[in-house]
Amino acid sequence: MAILTWVLISLAIWHFTVFFPDHFLGGINGAFLASAVGGVLGGFLLSGLEFPTRHDTTVATVALGIPGTLIALALLYFVGKRREEAQQA
Amino acid sequence: MTDRRRNILVLLFVAVLVAASGVVIATKPTKLGLDLQGGVQLIYQVSPTKGESLTEDSIQRTIDVMQDRINQYGVGEAEIQRSGQDQIDVSLPSIDNPEEARQRVGTTAQLVFYDWEPNVVGPNGETNAADPNITGGASAGERTNPVAISQFDAVMRGSKLKPITNNGPGQMPPVAGTQYYLVDTKAKKVLTNGPQESLESITGDKRLAKYFDAAGKPIPPAKIVEVPEGYRVIQAADSNNQAGEVIPAGDKWFLIRDRPSLRGNDIKDPAQSFSSGGLRKEPSVVFSFTSEGKKRWQDTTKAIAKRGADNCLFQQGEPRAQRIQRCSNHFAIVLDQQLISSPLIDFERNPDGISGSTGSEISGSFTLKSAQALADLLKSGSLPLKLTIISQQQVSASLGQEALDQGLLAGIIGFGVVAIFLVAFYRVLGVIAVLGLGVYTVFFMAIVKLIPIVLTLPGIAGLILTIAVAADANVVIFERVKDELQNGRSVPRAIKDGYRKGLTAIIDGNVITFLVAFILFLVATAGVKGFAFNLGIGVIVSMFTAVLMTRAILGLLSRSPIITHPAALGARKRNPIWHRFDFVGASRWFFAASGVILALGAIAIGGKGLNFGIDFESGTQIKANAKAGTTVEDVRNALKTVGEGDAKIQQVKLSGASDKSGRVTFQISTEALSTAKEQEVGRSLAVVGVSQADLNSNTVGPTFGQTVARMAIIAILASFALIAFVIWFRFGLQFTVPILIAVIHDLLITAGIYAATGAEVTASTVAALLTIIGYSLYDTIIVFDRIRENLKRLPSAAISQIVNRSMSEVLGRSLVTSFSTGLPVLALLLFGGDTLKDFALAMLIGTISGAYSSVFIASPVLTAAMERAPKFRARRKRLMEAHGGHLPAYPEGNTAKEVEPDGPRKSGRRVTSPEGPDQAVSKQEFQEMVSELGIETSAASTVTAPREPSAAKPAKKPEPQPDPDAPVSRADDLSPEEVESRYEKPSGGKKKSSRRHGRPR
């Protein structure tokens, strides 16, 4: 259940990437993948390298998916932007 | 063959099929499932036994034995089928006693005969036939035997012994292997339900999970103990009181050496009879022996008689009967884990044993019914494999009938509202579509009766949904027809093009729905299988009626006055409210809205969790109709008497007859109950006016719950993979990713709403989720189909402009298909009863979400992804420069120039190039021109080559918008007759320019 909440929150965040210029590596599809992977991975790390069980999943568990998603998206954005600049140069 | 002739043939064929279907419907009975006619469904898990591994053959033999038992049970229309790798599904209609059904069908019925005295194991593991302190003397295997001990003590006694795998030369081998028990050493209780044949059976049992720590070790005082091979723990025999009532043995057990004298396969022709001895004729079971059995019987009884005689010290003055009682040894008959009886062998009358030539008799504490049941079990033989019941469902006949009524009502209302909608929206086209739906329903019902398909409640849901599928197909085509009409085509041409252009989207959508149904059918449990089967069959049949048949009718009517006016076809003036709306520009706000909904869904799942039903969680759900005025407290008090006062009790509102009767319906949820306990609960509810026959119960064991969960995951993943492949194959990778993102969006939103509303997630919900995938894709395919078409049509436009234009063109269609799907789904939700509500809620959310995501998620994602392509990036840059740094939402000026989207011409030649110097154009070229202009010709008509080829010139200027309210002018698309007259005798009427390329703006 925790994984489901992390996927949900990470994809919720992904929906807001459209407000940023499209410099994400792999574009909107890349951002989609990165946010989902980042959310689950971040949640897993912040949960102490375990997936909380269904009964241990709370609203706080949902929040654990946010940092990973943001980091993954930020990384993807800066890598994508740098690559674009390199190509233009 | 001309179109007309083909259409007539199609309709004749349909008429013949309808007549044949009518005969089938009138003459063949409908096979109703248990949920519609009442009965008991038992799902067993099979596991290997000693000497019998789990193979195809052993499972089939088990099914054969069960089938034989069902036949002897006298249940008509019973069904037994294998489900998955290791499950057997038994449906017994018209049965209202699950415990009896379970005993009659699923009992292993392993019959073993033991020489009693030498095999009873004493306190220190010793055996001594001559010691009554060990054997219990005259009372032998009865519950009153002083040496009978508790099950816990018997198990613990056995656990201290060493295994004996060989009973010696000439002796039969032990019937049982090592037996595992989970015991509570403090409460001195056995926690497992009988012996388990493997440790995994205990550690894997969810009900016992609380006795194990995270590492899988039993938490003291729980302990796993083993009774080694060579020993068995068996329960004492039940007895009868003076009134003939059965007194259960209770916690009275024996530990015996597993040295069988005869086994079940040594006897034949068992039959229920009445005992030959005694004053009262008691029910008994008589049988004869096989030739091998005869010898063993004689030898064993001779040994028992001899031992009786040898150990008997004669006492002066003791009556014979008393002496025989005191000295005779016994013969024990054990069925599975319990003694049936332990008759004595009269050593004085039978010093040489009892001949097996006249057979023998088992008499014990039988009632007439139990004696008959045992005889039947022995007749069919023991089951080769062990059966563990993992799910059982009981549906009362009255509630089954009510469910049927509700399902049919939902179907009729669903059909009715779709019909009204189609007629109101498409007028004449709608009437034809309704006719198609009617024919579809007739065909479907005939197929249901002919195959025959067992009609279940989920099956009815499948049927209703296929009505929506069929209606959707018509909507897609009719919207295309309206497009063509509004583009100035004649009615016949619009119909022809509408069907041609709409067909690919329909096929794509239906292929995906069919594949989803197929996967569901492969992995689903029985109830959902019915849904999947009907959905699959319905998709195929609906293609025939919604496309082929309606096309034939319209083809014949195309020149009829009733459909020459666009208003008759529902083709109104264009420019809906979203005309020239900047969908792509606004998509970020829709994206944000979706993001917020998903975030709320995540919080709901985190905070409340998903409310999984017993299909996943395991447990027992009992639905009972109590007398008017009964409260939850009354029900709880009744349940307290059987120790189930902690059960979750809800008063539920029923529609239909139950509601009108004034009786109150309660749903009671508990942990998974055994069939006996379930009956006990049912009996306890009698005080609140609940009769056993009116009880609806559903018990799902942990194993079955795990199976359902596994099925759900496999089905969703497999559907996803298959759909991704099909979309990739049909549309390419660029289109596939946005489609999958949209589907994920729909599934997650549905999950979030389920969490927020607390709606129960059942196996049906999973089926509905999969159907959502199909429906969501249908919508997206329609949008993407148009984008793909417009990509070719508008080679100079930016991708956002193409997407905007495409969405503007198909949004109406998308809304109409969603609405036409939503209507029957809503009927299911409102009128379909509890089971169908599970389907309907998920379907309704999915349908709305699917329509939304196809326009506001999939298309913008596609736009963003495609705009990264250098071609579109350059195009966008160029257009922005041309418009002062601003990109118009829709193609304007030169960008709006269209090209024929149907791709390159077959012939590389110029159409206007003549074959000879004396000809303007060749006959073949003229035919091509006629075809290009959308003019239909018949074989009978002759086409005269025109003197001037000017009619074939492409229209350079956009045409004026036709007045949709005016009768359709046939100037664009002339009939063959008109073609002739046009060139032979020029008409003085208004003549529109014919177009080869482009559409009117």
Span B703-733, pLDDT tens digits: 777 777 777 788 888 888 888 888 888 888 8
Chain B window 742-801: which residues touch A at a Cβ cutoff of 8 Å?
A: 744-745, 748, 751-752
Any A CB within 8 A of B602 CB: yes
Rounded to a whole number, what is the distance in Å from the CA of B669 to chain A's nearest CA?
19
Any A CB within 8 A of B381 CB: no
Give the HSE-up count for residue B853: Cα atoms under 13 Å, Cβ half-sphere: 31
Partners of residue B594 in chain A, C-beta under 8 Å: 12, 15
Percent pLDDT > 70 in chain B is: 83
CA atoms of B636 and B630, how far apart (whole Å): 11
Between B159 and B710, name the one with better pLDDT.
Answer: B159
Any A CB within 8 A of B598 CB: yes
Question: What is the per-residue pLDDT across B904-941, written as a single tens digit (0 to 9) for each?
Answer: 444 444 444 444 445 555 565 566 555 545 454 444 44
- The predicted pLDDT at position B19 comes to 94
Partners of residue A54 in chain B, C-beta under 8 Å: 609
Closest Cβ opposite residue B599 in set A12, A18, A61: A12
Q: Does A6 score more than 90 pLDDT?
A: yes
Lowest mean per-residue pLDDT among A65-69, B41-45, B430-434, B560-564: B560-564
Interface test with B, best of A1, A3, A4 (most B CBs within 10 A): A4
Partners of residue B867 in chain A, C-beta under 8 Å: 22
Query: Is B588's CB within 8 Å of A4's CB?
Result: no
- Closest chain B residue to A10, measured at CA: B599
Closest Cβ opposite residue A4 in set B596, B605, B861: B605
- The predicted pLDDT at position A34 comes to 95
Give the HSE-up count for residue B351: Cα atoms under 13 Å, Cβ half-sphere: 3
Query: Is B610's CB within 8 Å of A59's CB?
Result: no
Tokens standing for residue B235: 């329960």
Q: Does B901 score more than 60 pLDDT?
A: no
Tokens standing for residue B486: 């509004």
Question: What is the per-residue pLDDT across B251-269, written as a single tens digit (0 to 9) for each?
Answer: 899 999 999 988 887 888 8
Partners of residue A31 in chain B, C-beta under 8 Å: none
Closest to B89 measured CA to CA, from B132, B135, B42: B42
Closest Cβ opposite residue A57 in set B594, B606, B744: B606
- The predicted pLDDT at position B661 comes to 61
- Closest chain B residue to A61, measured at CA: B606
Interface test with A, best of B210, B603, B761 (most A CBs within 10 A): B603
Partners of residue B713 in chain A, C-beta under 8 Å: none
Query: Is A59's CB within 8 Å of B588's CB?
Result: no
ipTM of the assembly? 0.94
What is the pLDDT averaged over residues B843-856?
84
- The predicted pLDDT at position A73 comes to 95
Residue appearing with tokens 């539920």: B652
Query: Is B748's CB within 8 Å of A15's CB?
Result: no
Chain CA centroid to CA B412, Å: 22
Any B CB within 8 A of A84 CB: no
Partners of residue B860 in chain A, C-beta under 8 Å: 18
Q: How many CB atoms lie within 10 A of CB B34?
A: 25
3-state DSSP assignment of residue B395: strand
Tokens standing for residue B455: 């009609």
Any A CB within 8 A of B430 CB: no
CA atoms of B959 and B962, how far apart (whole Å): 8
- The predicted pLDDT at position B46 comes to 84
Any B CB within 8 A of A13 CB: yes
- The predicted pLDDT at position B943 comes to 40
- The predicted pLDDT at position B827 comes to 87
As a three-state string, the secondary structure of chain A is: CHHHHHHHHHHHHHHHHHHCCCCCCCHHHHHHHHHHHHHHHHHHHHCCCCCCCCCCCCHHHHHCHHHHHHHHHHHHHHHHHHHHHHHHC
Mean pLDDT, chain B, as a whole number? 78
Question: What is the per-residue pLDDT across B433-453, written as a single tens digit (0 to 9) for each?
Answer: 888 889 988 998 898 888 877
Query: Is B605's CB within 8 Å of A54's CB?
Result: no
Between B602 and B949, name the one with better pLDDT.
Answer: B602
Question: What is the per-residue pLDDT across B333-347, written as a single tens digit (0 to 9) for each?
Answer: 888 888 888 888 888
A–B: how many Cβ contacts below 8 A? Answer: 85
Helices (H) then strands (E): counts for chain B? 30, 24
- The predicted pLDDT at position B904 comes to 46
- The predicted pLDDT at position B74 comes to 67
Any A CB within 8 A of B175 CB: no
Between B170 and A20, name the one with better pLDDT.
Answer: A20
- Closest chain B residue to A33, measured at CA: B741
Partners of residue A60 in chain B, C-beta under 8 Å: 606
Rounded to a whole number, what is the distance in Å from the CA of A30 to chain B's nearest CA?
9
Instruction: Tell me the C-alpha to C-alpha distance, in Å, between residue A72 and each of A28, B257, B599.
Output: 13, 67, 18
Partners of residue B748 in chain A, C-beta under 8 Å: 7-8, 11
Q: Is the CB of residue B972 less than 8 Å from the CB of residue B994?
A: yes
Query: Is B599's CB within 8 Å of A65's CB?
Result: no
Any B CB within 8 A of A71 CB: no
Q: Residue B967 — pLDDT band, cuts 50, 70, 90? A: very low
Q: Residue A35 — pLDDT band, cuts 50, 70, 90? A: very high
Partners of residue A23 in chain B, C-beta under 8 Å: none
Q: Residue B526 — pLDDT band, cuts 50, 70, 90? A: low
Rounded to a whole number, what is the distance in Å from the CA of B622 to chain A's nearest CA?
25
Closest to B849 measured CA to CA, from B512, B598, B606: B598
3-state DSSP assignment of residue B178: coil
Q: Does B815 score more than 80 pLDDT?
A: yes
- The predicted pLDDT at position B732 comes to 85
Residues 6+ apart with CB under 8 A from A89: none
Interface test with B, best of A8, A13, A37, A81 (most B CBs within 10 A): A8
Q: Residue B226 — pLDDT band, cuts 50, 70, 90? A: very high
Rounded to a whole number, what is the distance in Å from the CA of A43 to chain B's nearest CA?
13
- The predicted pLDDT at position B1000 comes to 34
Query: Is B868's CB within 8 Å of A27's CB?
Result: yes
- The predicted pLDDT at position B237 comes to 85
Query: Is A15's CB within 8 Å of B591's CB?
Result: yes
- Closest chain B residue to A60, measured at CA: B606
Closest Cβ opposite residue A62 in set B606, B741, B861: B606
Partners of residue B744 in chain A, C-beta under 8 Å: 11
Instruction: Tell me the C-alpha to C-alpha distance, in Å, between residue B241 and each of B162, B245, B978.
Output: 39, 5, 101
Lowest mean per-residue pLDDT among B282-286, B926-930, B979-983: B979-983
What is the pLDDT averaged over residues B295-306?
88
Annotate A24-59 with b (16+ C-beta within 10 A) or e (fewer): bbebbbbbbebbbebbbbbbbebbeeeebeeeebee
Q: Residue A5 — pLDDT band, cuts 50, 70, 90? A: very high
Tokens standing for residue B391: 């799910």
Residues 6+ apart with CB under 8 A from B90: B41, B42, B43, B44, B66, B70, B78, B79, B80, B101, B105, B106
- The predicted pLDDT at position A65 comes to 94
Query: Is A65's CB within 8 Å of B867's CB?
Result: no
Rounded to a whole number, what is the distance in Å from the CA of A28 to chain B's nearest CA?
6
Q: Residue B963 — pLDDT band, cuts 50, 70, 90? A: very low
Any B CB within 8 A of A78 CB: no
Strand boundaries in B178-238, DSSP class E: 179-184, 189-190, 222-227, 231-235
Chain A window 25-54: which residues touch B at a Cβ cutoff of 8 Å?
A: 27-29, 32, 54
Tokens standing for residue B825: 């789904």
What is the pLDDT averaged over residues B589-608?
91
Q: Residue B981 — pLDDT band, cuts 50, 70, 90? A: very low
- Closest chain A residue to B861, measured at CA: A28
Partners of residue A70 in chain B, C-beta under 8 Å: none
Rounded to a whole number, what is the distance in Å from the CA of A60 to chain B's nearest CA?
8
Rounded to a whole number, what is the distance in Å from the CA of A85 to chain B's nearest CA?
15
What is the pLDDT averaged over residues B884-897?
77
**In degrees, to the nearest 5, what angle opens at C-alpha B441 toward C-alphas B435 and B445?**
150
Q: Does B53 score more than 50 pLDDT?
A: yes
- The predicted pLDDT at position B44 comes to 85
